[in-house]
Amino acid sequence: MMGVVSEVFANYYTAFVNSIPVLTFVFVLVVIGYLFGLLVKFLAISLLKYVGLDDWFENQNLLAALGNRDLSEIIGSILKWYVFFIFLKQAVELINLFTIQEMLGFWISFILTLIAAFVVLIFGMIVGRYVRNAVEATKVAMKKMLGLVLELMIVYVSFVMGIKMVGLPTQLLEYTFLIAVFGAVFAMSLMMGIGFGLALKDEAKTIVKEIKKKK
């Protein structure tokens, strides 16, 4: 019995000793990935600030859509973590334990997909605010409400696209969006009709009086 136990412990010890070089290389690769991610973030932020991206977004009044954070900082952070998880995924593939490799590989791939979905959402928020600003700069009736509705619709669509990228069901969200669109169109049409009616009320009274005089 003691011989069997000793043999089991000896096998585990041998496996652990043999895995030390691989684990060391994995650790080094992860550290390199994190440092390389920091470098990519620094270069991305420096380049985007140099070309004046943040200044342009501030002039276009788009920073409010991002919580008044610089777009260069957001892009730099996204690139940093994306690069890090790419390195981490490669490091995990070096681990010989299939169960751990499969589990970690799944979660790393899921996080990379989440990052991509977050990029889609950020893009939708920027486009939505740009459209809102463009509408509010016109002389269209109820331009503030129309701009807000269009911004919310674009952000909602980008959110649903991000959810779909992650692999979650989106049918309920899509049906809700269609109902909201029809409701918004109906409400705006009704408000515009009431607005035109009130605006033309005095003119209508004048026309009716003229018709009565002719009779």
Is 44 inside any structural domain?
Answer: yes
Phi, psi of 60 (to 5 degrees): -85, 5
Is 109 inside any structural domain?
Answer: yes
pLDDT at 101 over 60: yes
* Domain hosting residue 17, numbered range: 2-168
CA distance 43 to 5: 55
Is 59 inside any structural domain?
Answer: yes
Is 198 inside any structural domain?
Answer: no
Mean pLDDT of all residues belonging to the chain:
75
Per residue in 43-79, pLDDT (tens digit) is: 999 999 889 888 888 888 887 778 788 889 999 999 9
Report how many domains make up the chain. Answer: 1
Per-residue tokens: 175: 């049906």
* Cβ neighbours of residue 125 closer than 8 Å, sequence gap 6 or more: 65, 66, 155, 158
Per-residue tokens: 4: 């069997």
CA distance 73 to 48: 9
Per-residue tokens: 162: 């991000």
Is 60 inside any structural domain?
Answer: yes
Task: Select from 186, 176, 187 the least CA-distant residue to 153.
Answer: 176
